[in-house]
Structure 1
Amino acid sequence: MPHDRRHPRLAALPWLLAVALVAPLAHAGDADSLADCDRNEVARVLAPAASTDTAARGYWLDRHRIAWPGAPMHGRFALYRSATASIMAEPGAPVRGSDGRWPLVQDTAPLPDALRTRFAFIGDGPRLRLTAGDEATADLLRDEVWLVLEDDRGNVIASTRLQHPGALDDLYATAASVDAPPLGPLLGEHASSLRVWAPTARDVSVCLYDTADGPATARLPLVRDDASGTWSRHVDDDLFGRAYAYLVDVVVPGTGVVRNRVTDPYSVALTADSARSVFYNLDDADLKPAAWDGHARPAPLASPVDMAIYELHVRDFSRDDAGVPAMHRGRYTAFAQPDSHGMRHLRALHGAGITDIHLLPVFDLATVPETACAEPDVPTAAPDSQAQQATVMAVAAEDCFNWGYDPYHFNAPEGSFATDASDPATRIREFRTMVQALHAQGLRVGMDVVYNHTTASGQSPRSVLDRIVPGYYHRLDAHGVVERSTCCDNTATEHAMMARLMIDSAELWVRHYGIDSFRFDLMGHQPREAMERLQARVDAAAGRRVELIGEGWNFGEVADGARFVQASQGSLQGSGIGTFSDRARDAIRGGGPADNGEAQFAQGYANGVHYADNGHGTGATRDDLLHAADLVRAGLAGTLAGYTMEHADGVKRPLSALDYKGQPAGYAAQPAEVVNYVENHDNQTLFDINVFKLPPGTTAAERARVQVLALALNTFSQGIAYFHAGGELLRSKSLDRNSFDSGDWFNRVDWTGQENHFGTGLPPAEGNAGDWDLMRPLLRDASIVPSPADIAFTRDAFLDLMRIRASTTLLRLRTAGDVMQRLRFHNTGPDQNPVVIVGEIDGRGYEGANFQALLYLVNVSPDAQTVAIPALAGRDWALHPVHRAPGSADDYPYDTRYDIDTGHFDVAPRTAVVLVIE
C-alpha cells in the first residue's frame, strides 16, 4: 500500500505488522521498549561511571600502538577494561572494578611515516604495543578503558584514558573509502534502510514516529558490521516522510554507559527545531519545485578568476523589503519574487558583472527558533542611545536572526528560512526554489559552509556527533578536552570519518541542490589533502568545476602545520583553491579587522594614512604610506609570491619579500588562489570602518568617494573578487563590530537606497560597550549620514566598476605567468607620488582582452594629483567605454587629463579611473 506523500506526517505505518526483527532488542508493540524513544531527556545513564576523571593524555596511534606523552618510563604498563564503567585507578592501590587486564610491551620499532607525521604534535613519552589481536582492540574500544602504569606489586603509579581516533581510523578505514556504502537514510521504491557509523557503540536501534511530534510507534534494532563499524537496518517498505531518531548505547568517559537519543548526522530532512530526522529520498518528485530537473543553470566559468562574488544573508535579503509579500520576507522564497526591490538590485548587479551569490550558512542551524522566534519592538531613540540594542539583545537568543555559524546538521536546509518549518518537505522545495530563481537570473549560487566546528560536543542536547562516537569527531588537546580555537567546538577533519562527513555533505549540496561554489569557514583548520579530495568529489558530482574558496587563516592548535598540512594561505599553492587575502584588505582600510579603542583610528591607504590625518595621533609617516601603497600593489598583482616589482626602497624584489606583519605579502602561486575583499560579514562594514578613520569634517559625499576607492582597488586586483552585500549602498551596522547575533535591527539593508542605517543606536554591548564613549560622538554626527544621492552615486560607480571588470580579461588574468608578463606598475620606488597607484596591463594577443592595453589610475588624495609617466607618452589613451557610456555614475570625475606628448596625467581628487587603447 503506497503512502500518501501529500501528507507524509499523517500517513499510517501498515508495514510495521509485517516487519521481522533481526535482533532481539525491542518489539514494535512493546510499550516498555518505546519508553526511551519518548523520554524528555536525550540521554539516560544505564551504568554510572566510577571515575569522573575524563582526562585523556594517552593516544591510540593505530590498532596496536599506544603512546603516553610525558609519562614515566619505569614500571609495567597495562590496559584495564570495564563493560560497566566501574574502573577505579587510584595511585598506590591496585586497579578496582575491572573486567580484564591486557599487558603492554615497550615498542621500539620505528613508526611508519604516516603515523609519525600524524602524531608529531603529541610529544615524547613511552610508546607501547598491545599484543592481542584486532578483535581485542575492537572490543576494548567499546568498553571503558584505562592505560595504567603499575609497580611490581600491581599498585597504580599513574593512569589515563586514551584518545582513540588513531585506532578507529586504522580499524575501520573501509568505512571512509570512496567505495564505502552511503550513510544516512536510503529509500528505494519499496524498501528503506538506515546506516550510521558507530564503532564504539554497544547497541544501536532506531525509533520510528508516525508524526513529527507524536509518540514512537516502533523501535527497531540495527545490526553491526564488524569490518566497518557501521550499524544498519533494512525494511521491505517505503518509509518516505517518517520521522526517526537513534538510540545509541555507548560508553561516555566520566559519565558511564549512556543511552543517547540522537538525530542522524546524515539527516537530509528534519522536523521543526531539529527534533527528529526524517526519511526522504531527495530525488523524489514531491520534494522538487516545478521544472527543477534540468532547469537552466548558468554556464561554467572559463576560469575561477571570472568569479565576482556577492556575499548575502538569506534573512537580510528580504526581511525589510516592502516589495516582498509578508509571508516570504526573510525566506528562501523571497528570491522567487522577481519584482521585489532586492531581486531588481541583484539583476542590476548581475547585469554589471556579479557572477555568484554566496549565501551565509543555510544548512540546519542550532540557535534560531524555527517556529516561534521573537520579534523585538525596537524603540525610536537617539542615534547614540543604548535603548535600541537593549531591546534587541533582550531577545537575541530567541529572535529570528543569526549569521548561522552554529552548525547542527550539515546535510539539511535550515527551517527558519522556510515558510513552514513544521513541514520537513517545505524547506527542501523552497531551498531549491531559491537556487532555481537565482539560476534563472544567470546567477550562480555559492554556499558558506562550516565544517571546522560544531555548536556543541559531549553530552550537550545540541551535540550530535559526540553522542554517537564520543571523542572521535572533535579535535582534542593533550588532556582530551575539545579544542575551541575556532570559536566553538573544533571538529577534526584530519580524522577519516569527519573528513568523509565533510566531503559527503559538500557532494550532497552539489548533487541535490545545484550549488555551484563553496566558501569554507576557517578552512585553515582543515587538511589540504581532505580539501583536494572534496574538490574531486564535487567536480565529479557536478560534471563541471565547482569553485572552492575559504578562510586560510593560520592559527590555533593546527598553526604552522602542527597536525597536518593545512588548507591555509601558506600551504595551498598549486591546489587551485582560493584563500581570502588580508594583505591588501588591511593596507586599504588601515589597522586590523578586530581593532578596538584608539587602534580603530589607524588609517589605511584609501582613508588617509599620512596624507589626511584624522587627529588621533597615529603618527603615520611617509614610509608608512609608501609601504601601504606597496601592499596595495601586491593585492593588485594577485598576491603572487613570485611577482616582482620595484619596492618603496627602489629595489626590485618578489612579493614574497614584501613584509606583511612579519609574513610574506605575496603567498599565492596562481591568481585563482587568492580572494580579494575589503569587507565581508565579519567585523565592521567598510562604511563604519571609515567613520573612525576619515578625518572629522569629511562630508558624506566624500565618504562615498572613499568607499568607491576601496571597491575600485578590490575590483582591479587580479584574482577572485568578493563583495559584501550592501557595500555599494554604503551599508552601516551602526558601528557594530560583530553582528552575528545582533538581530535584524543592526543587520538591515535597504535595496531602495534611501538610507544606510548609520546612527540607529549604539551597537550591542557585548563586544562594543568598551568603545561606546568613542562611538557616541560619531553616531551623533548627522553630517556623516549619507543622503539617497550619496548612496545612488556609490551604487552607480560600483556598477561601472563591475562593467569594466566584465569587459576585459585583463582584470582577470588567468595565470601567474600572465600577470608577471602583462601587469606593470608605474610611479613606484622612493620618488613616487605615493597617493596615486598606476597600473598598466598589456592586452596584445590576449584572449578576451578587447583592448590593446588598459591603464588604471587611483588617486586616494582629497586633492587633485599629477603624475608624469614618460613611458606612457605618445599613446592613444582614452577613457574606458563604460566611463563614456550614458548612465555611468553621473557625478564621477572621469575627465582625467592626459598629455600625449609628456605622459602627464591629471587625476581628480579621490578618483579611480580606467583608460584604454582600443
Structure 2
Amino acid sequence: MIAINRAFFAYLDDVKLVTILIPYYHFNGHSDSFSLITKDQAEIPLLINQRIPLKNFMKYVCELPFEVPLGERYEIQNSNGYKTDLQIGAVIRTKDFDENYYYEGDDLGVTYSKEFSSFKLWAPIATSVKLKLIDPNRKELPHVEMARGEKGVWHVKLEGNYDRFEYSYLVCNNLLWKEAVDPYAKAVSTNGEMGVIIDLEQTRVPFTRLQKVQSPVDAIIYETHIRDFSIHPESGIQHKGKYLGLTEEAIGTDRNSTGLSYLKELGITHLELLPFNDFYGVDEARDTGEYNWGYNPLHYNVPDGSYSTDPSDPYKRIIELKTMITSIQSKGIYVIMDVVYNHVYHRETSHFEKIVPGYYFRHDDFGMPSNGTGVGNDIASERKMVRKFIVDSIKYWMKEFNVDGFRFDLMGILDIETMCEVRKTADDLKEGCIILGEGWDLNTPLASDYKATIKNAKKMPGIAFFNDYFRDTVKGSTFNLYERGYIHGSSQKSQAVKHIITGSIQANGSSGLFSSPEQSINYVESHDNHTLWDRINLFDPKEATDIKRKRHRLATGMVILSQGVPFIHSGQEFFRTKHGIENSYKSPDSVNQLDWSEKIRNFDHVQYIKGLISIRKAHGAFRLRSAKDIEKYMKLIDSGFSSILYLLENVEQFGPWKNIFVAFHHLETSREIFLPIKGTWQMICNDQAAGIKPLNTITEHKFTLEPLSMYVLVQESS
C-alpha cells in the first residue's frame, strides 16, 4: 500500500475538469497555477476556470486540455511545488464515463473448465488488480497480477483445474487497496466471505417444463418465506426451514395436508418466495436462532446458505435450490423469485463500492449518497453497467435455475428503461414470465418521469404493480389502523371499490391506474405490515370473532373475484397472525412461522377460499385480458345501497357459464336484491360455501344477501 499524506486534494469530476481543494492552512489556500503530472513525468498545465472560497478550503475548478485515460496514476502539482494524487471523483457518474467504459461482453466473472479458469472484472478506474486464491486445503496462493483490457475490464487466465478454490479481487483505487468478492460470483463460501470457483455442470438438476402462462391474470400468486413455510413443529416436514422442505409432499390429505400437496390442493398457480439469494442477517456457520426475510442482499447470483443443509459446501445450496424449484414446478406451480436490486445491505462495504467507488449508487447534488430506500443507499440502475448487471442477473436465474417470474422489491427506485429491458430479456428467454413489483414513488434523485413507479405504469407494458389503492380501499389505510375500509362498512369506499374490481383500468372516461388489468396486483395482505387478521383485530378488539372472520373472508374474496392478478399471503386463507407485530423482518419463528395447526382449526375457511379459487380458474370472465373486454362484458349494477353488484354478461366464450352475477355485501344487516336477468340461476358461492358445484337453484327474481357476505350465481348457456 502507498502511504497517503495529502497537502491538498484533487478530483477528476468530469472528463476534462479537475476540482482542487486547498486548505487555508496550506499557503492560505493559494496557488497561482496547477499542472498534471503523468506517469512519464510529463507536466501539463491546467487552465483555472474558477476560484471559489469555501469554509475550510479554497476551491479551484480547472480544465484539462484533453480527456485523461483512466486506469493510470496521475498527480496534480501546485505553484508551491506540492503534489497530490489525482483521485477519481464525480466523473464516474457522467454520461461520458458510461459511454466510454460500457462493456457489452457476457463473460464477466469466472469462466471455468477442468483445463483452465479465466477471470474478468470490470474496474475501469483501478490502477492495479490482483487475484487472490485459496485452495480447498485452505492454503493461500501468491496473488496473481491481472491485466487491464478494453473498457476497463481486468482479466487473467490460469491453466489447471481450480474447482472449489476460493477467490477474491484486490483492487487499488485512488491509492487504496480493498478486497472484494466478485459481483458475478456464482458460488460463495460460508457467509459469503469469498467467491468459490465451481463447475456448474455438477449442479445440473432436470428442469420441469410448464406450459406458458397465457396472461398474468391467469395467475393466482401465493407469497411465502422458505423458512416460514416449514419450520412449524406441526408442519410434518422433515427438512424444516430448508430448500428441501419445499420438496416434501405432505403428512396427510385434506384437513391435515401440508407442504407441496397443500399448495396443489389449494389451487394457486404461482409461488412467490421471499429473497433466497445470499443475504446478510443469518449466520450460516451455526444455528443461533437468527431470522431475516432476506432484504439485505450480499451476493445477487448465489443462493443463500442458511436454507441449505450444508452451507459450507458451495455446491449443496445450488443443487438443493434447483431441486426445490423443479419440485414445485412438478406440481404445476410456477416459481416467482423476490429480488432486491434497489439497494445493498451496506454501501461502504459492498463489493460494488470497493471495486468502482461511487458508481453503482445514486448521489444527491451535494455528492452525498441518496436514501430513498431507507437503508442508506439507492442503486443507480440508470447507469449502463448497473443496468447490465441487473439484466445479466435476471438472465442467470432464468437460464440456470429455471425461475418463472420476478417480484421487484421497491421497484420505484429503479428506472423505466431498466425495467423495460428486464421485461424484454424475460420474454426472450421464457414466454409467460411474470414481472411484478412495488411501484412506490420514493425520494431518490431520479426524475419523476424516469422512475418505475405506479404513476408511470402505462410506460411499462407487461410489468405489474402492487395495487395499494386496492389494498387500502378494501381494508383501510395501511398507515392508519383506524381508517374504515370497505370491509368495515364504509359506504364512502363504494365508488373506489367499483374501480378496483374492474382492474383499476383506464375506462369509461376515468383515468385509471393501468392501461391493462394485467398490471394490477390485487392484494390486502403481504409479508409487509400487519396481517389482515391482526389489522382487523386491532381495529376493533372487542368485536365478535365470527364477525371479524366474515370481514376477513370478504376481503380475500374480493381479491380473488376482481379483474387483475390476485395475490394471497401464505396463511391468509386461515387467518394468519403475527401477534400484532407489524414489521417482523427479523422476528423469531414464533412470530413468522406458518402455523399449520391454524389451518386445521380453520379448515372450513380454507375450503371456502379454495372454492373461490376454483371458480376463478373455471371461467375466463374473471380473468379478462384487456380494458376493452372489461368495458364490454362487465356491468356494474346499482344496488340502491353501498354494497357492490356486478354482472358478467354473455361470456360463454370464456367458460362454462353464459352469465355470472357477483355480489359483495359489506353491511352488518341483510338486504334484499333483484337479479339483473330473469330466469334460473345456480348459486355456486354464498355466505357458507364456495366452489364450482351448484349449492342451490334460484328461480325467483330476488333473493337476500346475508350480513358481511359474498355471492356468485351463474346461468348456463341455453
TM-score, normalization: structure 2?
A: 0.89
Please report the RMSD computed on the Cα atoms of aligned residues, expressed in angstroms: 3.3
Question: Is 1:208 aligned to residue 111 of structure 2?
Answer: no
What residue is the counterpart of 1:566 in the other structure?
451
Say whether the 8 Å CA contact 1:528–1:572 is kept in structure 2: no
What residue is the counterpart of 1:679 in the other structure?
525
> What pairs with 1:332-343 in structure 2 (closer than 5 Å)?
332-340=243-251
What residue is the counterpart of 1:223 in the other structure?
147
What residue is the counterpart of 1:164 in the other structure?
92
Say whether the 8 Å CA contact 1:503–1:537 is kept in structure 2: yes
Classify 1:46/1:865 alpha carbon distance in 2 versus 1 (closer, same or farther; 3 Å).
farther
Note the alpha carbon deviations across 1:196-253, whole angstroms, 9 max, x for none: 10001111111111137x241232111111x3111111122232221111111112xx
| Secondary structure of the structure 1 residue equivalent to 2:305 | coil
Q: Distance in 1 between matches of 2:395 and 2:140?
A: 32
| Secondary structure of the structure 1 residue equivalent to 2:488 | coil
Deviation, 1:704, is: 1.6
1:529 to 409, 417, 424: 417
Q: Distance in 2 between matches of 1:210 and 1:372?
A: 23
What residue is the counterpart of 1:246 in the other structure?
169
Deviation, 1:101, is: 6.2
What residue is the counterpart of 1:4 in the other structure?
none
Say whether the 8 Å CA contact 1:503–1:534 is kept in structure 2: yes
Q: Distance in 2 between matches of 1:565 and 1:845?
A: 42
Deviation, 1:348, is: 3.8
Classify 1:246/1:818 alpha carbon distance in 2 versus 1 (closer, same or farther; 3 Å).
same
Deviation, 1:298, is: 2.3
Q: Distance in 1 between matches of 2:158 and 2:88?
A: 43
What residue is the counterpart of 1:418 in the other structure?
308
Question: Is 1:197 aligned to residue 4 of structure 2?
Answer: no
Q: Distance in 1 between matches of 2:658 and 2:248?
A: 42
Q: Distance in 1 between matches of 2:26 and 2:107?
A: 40
> What pairs with 1:336-415 in structure 2 (closer than 5 Å)?
336-340=247-251, 344=258, 346-375=260-289, 399=290, 401-415=291-305
Question: Is 1:833 aligned to residue 697 of structure 2?
Answer: no
Q: Distance in 1 between matches of 2:9 and 2:663?
A: 65
Deviation, 1:102, is: 5.8
Classify 1:421/1:689 alpha carbon distance in 2 versus 1 (closer, same or farther; 3 Å).
same
Say whether the 8 Å CA contact 1:315–1:331 is kept in structure 2: yes
Say whether the 8 Å CA contact 1:81–1:144 is kept in structure 2: no
What residue is the counterpart of 2:604 in the other structure?
793
Say whether the 8 Å CA contact 2:518–2:564 is kept in structure 1: yes
Amino acid at match of 2:275: P
2:374 to 478, 482, 487: 487
> What pairs with 1:702-741 in structure 2 (closer than 5 Å)?
702-741=547-586
Say whether the 8 Å CA contact 2:243–2:324 is kept in structure 1: yes
> What pairs with 1:74-113 in structure 2 (closer than 5 Å)?
78-79=18-19, 91-93=29-31, 99=37, 103=46
Q: Distance in 1 between matches of 2:188 and 2:679?
A: 65
1:913 to 706, 711, 716: 711
Deviation, 1:423, is: 0.6
Classify 1:81/1:433 alpha carbon distance in 2 versus 1 (closer, same or farther; 3 Å).
farther
What residue is the counterpart of 1:270 in the other structure?
188
Deviation, 1:843, is: 4.0
Classify 1:102/1:672 alpha carbon distance in 2 versus 1 (closer, same or farther; 3 Å).
farther
| Secondary structure of the structure 1 residue equivalent to 2:598 | coil
Say whether the 8 Å CA contact 1:878–1:917 is kept in structure 2: yes
2:331 to 441, 449, 454: 441
Say whether the 8 Å CA contact 1:337–1:343 is kept in structure 2: no
What residue is the counterpart of 1:381 in the other structure?
none
> What pairs with 1:353-752 in structure 2 (closer than 5 Å)?
353-375=267-289, 399=290, 401-458=291-348, 460=349, 463-488=350-375, 489-542=377-430, 544-558=431-445, 561-562=447-448, 565-573=450-458, 575-591=461-477, 593=478, 595=479, 599-609=480-490, 625-626=491-492, 628-640=493-505, 642-644=506-508, 653-654=509-510, 656=511, 666-694=512-540, 696-752=541-597
Say whether the 8 Å CA contact 1:359–1:445 is kept in structure 2: yes
Q: Distance in 2 between matches of 1:127 and 1:670?
A: 54
| Secondary structure of the structure 2 residue equivalent to 1:453 | coil
Say whether the 8 Å CA contact 1:244–1:276 is kept in structure 2: yes
Deviation, 1:130, is: 5.3
Classify 1:51/1:842 alpha carbon distance in 2 versus 1 (closer, same or farther; 3 Å).
farther
Deviation, 1:580, is: 0.8
Q: Distance in 1 between matches of 2:697 and 2:63?
A: 78
Q: Distance in 1 between matches of 2:472 and 2:286?
A: 41
What residue is the counterpart of 1:842 in the other structure?
649
What residue is the counterpart of 1:26 in the other structure?
none
2:4 to 31, 37, 48: 48
Classify 1:558/1:670 alpha carbon distance in 2 versus 1 (closer, same or farther; 3 Å).
farther
Classify 1:139/1:411 alpha carbon distance in 2 versus 1 (closer, same or farther; 3 Å).
closer
Gaps of 5+ in 1: 1-44, 67-77, 108-125, 252-256, 376-398, 610-624, 645-652, 657-665, 755-787
Say whether the 8 Å CA contact 1:332–1:431 is kept in structure 2: yes
Say whether the 8 Å CA contact 1:265–1:464 is kept in structure 2: yes
Amino acid at match of 2:46: P
What residue is the counterpart of 2:160 in the other structure?
237
Say whether the 8 Å CA contact 1:361–1:403 is kept in structure 2: yes
Classify 1:260/1:605 alpha carbon distance in 2 versus 1 (closer, same or farther; 3 Å).
same
1:874 to 678, 685, 706: 678
Amino acid at match of 2:226: V
Deviation, 1:324, is: 4.5
What residue is the counterpart of 2:613 in the other structure?
802
Say whether the 8 Å CA contact 1:893–1:911 is kept in structure 2: no
Amino acid at match of 1:915: L
Amino acid at match of 1:672: E
Q: Distance in 2 between matches of 1:527 and 1:352?
A: 36
Deviation, 1:895, is: 6.6
What residue is the counterpart of 2:53 in the other structure?
none
Say whether the 8 Å CA contact 1:553–1:569 is kept in structure 2: yes
Note the alpha carbon deviations across 1:25-59, whole angstroms, 9 max, x for none: xxxxxxxxxxxxxxxxxxxx6333637999x9x95
Note the alpha carbon deviations across 1:284-329, whole angstroms, 9 max, x for none: 1x213xxx23x33321111111111000100101111445455x11
Q: Distance in 2 between matches of 1:739 and 1:89?
A: 57
| Secondary structure of the structure 2 residue equivalent to 1:601 | coil
Say whether the 8 Å CA contact 2:166–2:195 is kept in structure 1: yes
Q: Distance in 1 between matches of 2:568 and 2:156?
A: 47
Note the alpha carbon deviations across 1:58-105, whole angstroms, 9 max, x for none: 953xx45x6xxxxxxxxxxx55699xxxx9897445689974666359
Q: Distance in 2 between matches of 1:273 and 1:348?
A: 33
Q: Distance in 2 between matches of 1:275 and 1:876?
A: 68
Q: Distance in 2 between matches of 1:873 and 1:534?
A: 46
What residue is the counterpart of 1:857 in the other structure?
663
Q: Distance in 2 between matches of 1:51 and 1:700?
A: 72
Classify 1:839/1:145 alpha carbon distance in 2 versus 1 (closer, same or farther; 3 Å).
farther
Amino acid at match of 2:98: D
Q: Distance in 1 between matches of 2:153 and 2:427?
A: 27
What residue is the counterpart of 1:812 in the other structure?
623
What residue is the counterpart of 2:56 in the other structure?
none
Say whether the 8 Å CA contact 2:19–2:62 is kept in structure 1: no
Classify 1:845/1:487 alpha carbon distance in 2 versus 1 (closer, same or farther; 3 Å).
same
| Secondary structure of the structure 2 residue equivalent to 1:138 | coil
| Secondary structure of the structure 2 residue equivalent to 1:487 | coil
Deviation, 1:145, is: 8.2
